[in-house]
């Protein structure tokens, strides 16, 4: 059994990241925070672009930041959106998280204080798999 997650530092980091979101086109700011294997917290926000397809989601920005810091084993994630109920990550972000964690708790939060606890393997029951020299 893994120890219970202390969600509060993660929620705080994700709420702060949501404040820093660059989302002038959608006006849909998102914040994400990952609890890493060493206990550190890595956050990300969505960053949009006038060429809309260049937009990068909050969760993927958190994942790439964590990897760049040399931390590749997320233990838990918090995602903050402004919706009620709080929204789950998109499919692309779930795949991105699933690259580095087979399963983990994900807490969906909004600034009004609603919280929905889910799990990566529940939101993405069938992650992309392939066999081959680099596919394990």
Q: Give yes or no for a cis peptide into 77 (omega within 30° of 0).
A: no
What is the rounded CA–CA span in Å between residue 99 and residue 51? 27
Q: Is residue 57 part of the contact set for ligand THU (CB under 6 A)?
A: yes
- Nearest CA to 48 out of 58, 38, 33, 34 is that of 58
Show the tokens assigned to 135: 């596919």
Q: Looking at beta carbons only, is 19 or 26 nearer to ligand THU?
A: 26
Q: Least distance (Å) from ligand THU to the CB of residue 37?
A: 23
Q: Least distance (Å) from ligand THU to the CB of residue 58?
A: 4
- Is 59 an active-site residue? yes
User: Residues 81-120: x/- map of binding to ligand THU (CB under 6 A)?
Assistant: --------xx--x---------------------------
What is the rounded CA–CA span in Å between residue 104 and residue 124? 11
Whether the Cβ atoms of residue 75 and residue 106 lie closer than 8 Å to each other: no
Q: Is residue 15 part of the contact set for ligand THU (CB under 6 A)?
A: no
Subset of residues 16 to 35 that bind ligand THU, contact rule: CB under 6 A: 23, 26, 28, 30
Q: Looking at beta carbons only, is 41 or 81 nearer to ligand THU?
A: 81
- Nearest CA to 25 out of 59, 53, 49 is that of 49
Q: Which of the following is catalytic: 37, 59, 95, 129?
A: 59
End-to-end CA distance of the chain: 25
Q: Which residues bind ligand THU (CB under 6 A)?
A: 23, 26, 28, 30, 46, 48, 55, 57-59, 89-90, 93
- Residues annotated as catalytic (active site), given as ranges: 59
């Amino acid at each position: 059994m893994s120890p219970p997650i202390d969600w509060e530092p993660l929620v705080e980091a994700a709420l702060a990241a949501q404040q820093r979101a660059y989302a002038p086109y959608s006006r849909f700011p998102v914040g994400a925070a990952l609890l890493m294997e060493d206990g550190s917290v890595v956050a990300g926000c969505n960053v949009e672009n006038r060429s809309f397809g260049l937009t990068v989601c909050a969760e993927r920005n958190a994942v790439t930041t964590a990897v760049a810091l040399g931390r590749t084993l997320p233990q838990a994630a918090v995602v903050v959106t402004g919706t009620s109920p709080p929204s789950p990550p998109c499919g692309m972000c779930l795949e991105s998280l699933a690259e580095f964690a087979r399963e983990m708790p994900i807490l969906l939060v909004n600034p009004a204080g609603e919280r929905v606890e889910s799990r990566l393997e529940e939101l993405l029951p069938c992650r992309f798999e392939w066999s081959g020299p680099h596919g394990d």
